[in-house]
C-alpha cells in the first residue's frame, strides 16, 4: 500500500504552483511504510490529494514530485512516456536536430527529477542523483535506450548529490560495450574529444554550446583570454573565429593536455595563435594586470563557487574578485563574457556582483547580451532553480 506524505498547514503553496521539491520543514508526517525512492501520495494538511512523489528520508529535500496528477500511476510505462516526450521536445527544435552532443533529459525541467541524460553520437551518458531515480533505474535505462536509439549507455552517477540522498556512487556500462575509438563530437564546426569516464559532469559541458559559438563570432582579430578553460571549448571557437591570439588558463594540467589534444583534432585552426598556461586563475589575472597586459575579449567560466544559497556570500566575493581583475585587463571597447553556474547565486545577484566589480574597477560597463544554457537545457518556469547557468556579455569603455 502506498504511503501518504502530509504537508503542514500553509506549506502546500509551492506544490500548487507546481514546484517539484518538498523540503523536510514542510512535512507534517508520513503514514504507512516508505523506503527510499518509494512513491508516496502527497496531500495537504486537510487531506486533499496534491501530487505523487519519490520519498527521500536522507535528504533535506524529502520528496521530489513525479506528477501533479494524484491519480497518475508511477510505473515503467510512466518513464517510457516521460522520456519519449523529453526527446520529442528536442526533436521539434530545428537547431538541435543535427547536434552530435545533446542533452536528452534535463531532470526536473523535463519532469524527471534526479535524471540527466546526455547523448554523444551513438553513446548516451546517464546520471541518476535522487533516491527516486535510483529506485526506477532499470525502467529509466531501458526507456532511454529504446527512445534514443543509441548503441550504448554509460552511467555516471557519481555526483555529490547522491551522498545527500544516502546513495553510493555507481559508474560503468549498463547497455552495450565501450566504443573501440575515442569518443569525439563535432560542435559548431570544431571537433572535441569527450571523456565520459573521467571528464567533468557527463564528459562535456553541453550547456555552453551556443555561447561557445558566440565567442567565435566575436573573436576576429582579437586578443582573447580564456580563464578556467578546461578542455578548450571556448578557446577553439575563438581560434575558429579568427582570433589573433588566444591565451587559455586553467589550474589542471590534464585538462590543458586534453585541450591541446582537441586543438590537434582540428588542423584547420592556427595552433601558433594558441598559448596554454597552467595556473591559478585568480593569481594569473592579478599578474597580468600588474604587467599591464590587455585583451580585447576575456571569458570567465569558473567552476561552481556556490552549490547552495548557504555558500552565496563567500561565492559572491570570489565572483567579484575575478570579474574585477578581468575588467582591469580589458582594452577600451573590450568585451567580457562572464558566467556563474552556481545554483546559490541568482540572476539578479550575479548582475549586482558584476555592477560592484565595475564600480571598483572604475569602468563604465554595459550589458550587451544575457547568456544562458542551450535549448536542450530548458528551464521549467515553476522551477527557477533549474536556471543554474547565467551569464552576461559586457562591453567596457
| Dihedrals phi, psi of 25, to nearest 5 degrees | -70, -5
> pLDDT-based confidence at 180, cuts 50/70/90?
confident
Count of the separate structural domains present in the chain: 3
| Residues 239, 156 share a domain | no
Residues 232-256: tens digit of each pLDDT? 999 999 999 999 999 999 999 999 9
Q: Are residues 124 and 156 in the same domain?
A: yes
pLDDT at position 22, please? 98
Residues 369 and 297 in one domain: yes
342-376 pLDDT, tens digit each: 888 889 999 999 999 999 999 999 999 999 999 99
CA–chain centroid gap for 389, Å, is 6
pLDDT of residue 306: 66
Q: CB of 144 within 8 A of CB of 153?
A: yes
19-63 pLDDT, tens digit per residue, is: 999 999 999 999 999 999 999 999 999 999 999 999 999 999 999
pLDDT digits (tens, 9 = 90+) for 265-321: 999 999 999 999 999 999 999 999 999 999 999 999 998 886 666 777 888 999 999
> Looking at the structure, do residues 259 and 296 belong to the same domain, yes or no?
yes
Boundary residue ending a domain (175, 202, 236): 175
pLDDT of residue 343: 81
Are 379 and 248 part of one and the same domain?
yes
| Cα angle 389, 392, 397; round to 5 | 165
- The residues that bridge with 123 in the sheet, in sequence order, are 120, 152
Please say which residue of 147, 175, 203 terminates a domain. Answer: 175
Residue 292: per-residue pLDDT: 97
Q: Which residues contact 373 (CB under 8 A, 6 or more apart)?
A: 207, 208, 379, 387, 388, 389
CATH number of 34's domain: 2.30.130.10
Look at residues 17, 48, 67 and tell me which one is the last residue of a structural domain.
67
Residue 243 has a pLDDT of 98
Mean pLDDT of the chain: 96
Which residue range(s) make up the domain with 95? Answer: 76-175
CATH code, domain carrying 146: 3.30.750.80
Per residue in 64-77, pLDDT (tens digit) is 999 999 999 999 99
In this prediction, residue 1 carries a pLDDT of: 77
Based on the domain organization, do 345 and 225 belong to the same domain? Answer: yes
Exposed e or buried b per residue across 340-349, where buried means at least 16 C-beta atoms within 10 angstroms of its C-beta: bbbbbbbeeb
* Residues 43 and 115 both lie in one domain: no
Same-domain status, 21 and 116: no
Spatial neighbors of 254 by CB under 8 A, at least 6 apart, are none
Q: Do 218 and 290 share a domain, yes or no?
A: yes
Give the pLDDT confidence score for residue 305 in this predicted structure. Answer: 83
The CATH number of residue 209's host domain is 3.40.50.150
Contact criterion met (CB below 8 Å) for 111 and 146: no
Question: Which residues are known catalytic residues?
Answer: 341
Indicate whether 201 and 145 sit together in one domain: no
CA–CA distance, 132 with 161 (Å, rounded to integer): 13
pLDDT of residue 312: 78
- 264 in the same domain as 378: yes
Mean of pLDDT values over 189-203: 95
Q: Tell me how far apart the alpha carbons of residues 123 and 101 are, in angstroms, rounded to a whole number.
A: 10
62 with 211, same domain? no
Amino acid at each position: 500500500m502506498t504511503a501518504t506524505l502530509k504537508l503542514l498547514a500553509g506549506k502546500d503553496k509551492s506544490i500548487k504552483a507546481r514546484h517539484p521539491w518538498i523540503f523536510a520543514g514542510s512535512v507534517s508526517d508520513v503514514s504507512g511504510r516508505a523506503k527510499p525512492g518509494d512513491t508516496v501520495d502527497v496531500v495537504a494538511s486537510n487531506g486533499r490529494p496534491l501530487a505523487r512523489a519519490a520519498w527521500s528520508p536522507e535528504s533535506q529535500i524529502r520528496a521530489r514530485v513525479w506528477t501533479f496528477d494524484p491519480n497518475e500511476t508511477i510505473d515503467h510505462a510512466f518513464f517510457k512516456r516521460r522520456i519519449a516526450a523529453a526527446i520529442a521536445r528536442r526533436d521539434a527544435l530545428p537547431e538541435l536536430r543535427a547536434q552530435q552532443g545533446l542533452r536528452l533529459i534535463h531532470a526536473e525541467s523535463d519532469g524527471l527529477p534526479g535524471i540527466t541524460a546526455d547523448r554523444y553520437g551513438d553513446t548516451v551518458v546517464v546520471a541518476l542523483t535522487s533516491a527516486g531515480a535510483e529506485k526506477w533505474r532499470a525502467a529509466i535505462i531501458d526507456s532511454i535506450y529504446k527512445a534514443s536509439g543509441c548503441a550504448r549507455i554509460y552511467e555516471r552517477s557519481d555526483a555529490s548529490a547522491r551522498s545527500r540522498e544516502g546513495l553510493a556512487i555507481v559508474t560503468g556500462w549498463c547497455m552495450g560495450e565501450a566504443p573501440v575509438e575515442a569518443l569525439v563530437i563535432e560542435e559548431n564546426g570544431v571537433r572535441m574529444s569527450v571523456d565520459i569516464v573521467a571528464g567533468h559532469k557527463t564528459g562535456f559541458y553541453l550547456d555552453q554550446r551556443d555561447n561557445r559559438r558566440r565567442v567565435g563570432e566575436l573573436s576576429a582579430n582579437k586578443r582573447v583570454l580564456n580563464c578556467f578553460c578546461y578542455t578548450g571549448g571556448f578557446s577553439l571557437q575563438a581560434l575558429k573565429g579568427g582570433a589573433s591570439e588566444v591565451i587559455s588558463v586553467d589550474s589542471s594540467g590534464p585538462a590543458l593536455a586534453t585541450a591541446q589534444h582537441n586543438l590537434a583534432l582540428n588542423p584547420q585552426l592556427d595552433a601558433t595563435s594558441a598559448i596554454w598556461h597552467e595556473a591559478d586563475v585568480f593569481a594569473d589575472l592579478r599578474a597580468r594586470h600588474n604587467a599591464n597586459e590587455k585583451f580585447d575579449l576575456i571569458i570567465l567560466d569558473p567552476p561552481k563557487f556556490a552549490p547552495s544559497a548557504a555558500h552565496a556570500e563567500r561565492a559572491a566575493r570570489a565572483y567579484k574578485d575575478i570579474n574585477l581583475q578581468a575588467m582591469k585587463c580589458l582594452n577600451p571597447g573590450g568585451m567580457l563574457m562572464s558566467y556563474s553556474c552556481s545554483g546559490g547565486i541568482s540572476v539578479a545577484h550575479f548582475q549586482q556582483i558584476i555592477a560592484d566589480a565595475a564600480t571598483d574597477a572604475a569602468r563604465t560597463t554595459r550589458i550587451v547580451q544575457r547568456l544562458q544554457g542551450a535549448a536542450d537545457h530548458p528551464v521549467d518556469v515553476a522551477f527557477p532553480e533549474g536556471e543554474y547557468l547565467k551569464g552576461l556579455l559586457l562591453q567596457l569603455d
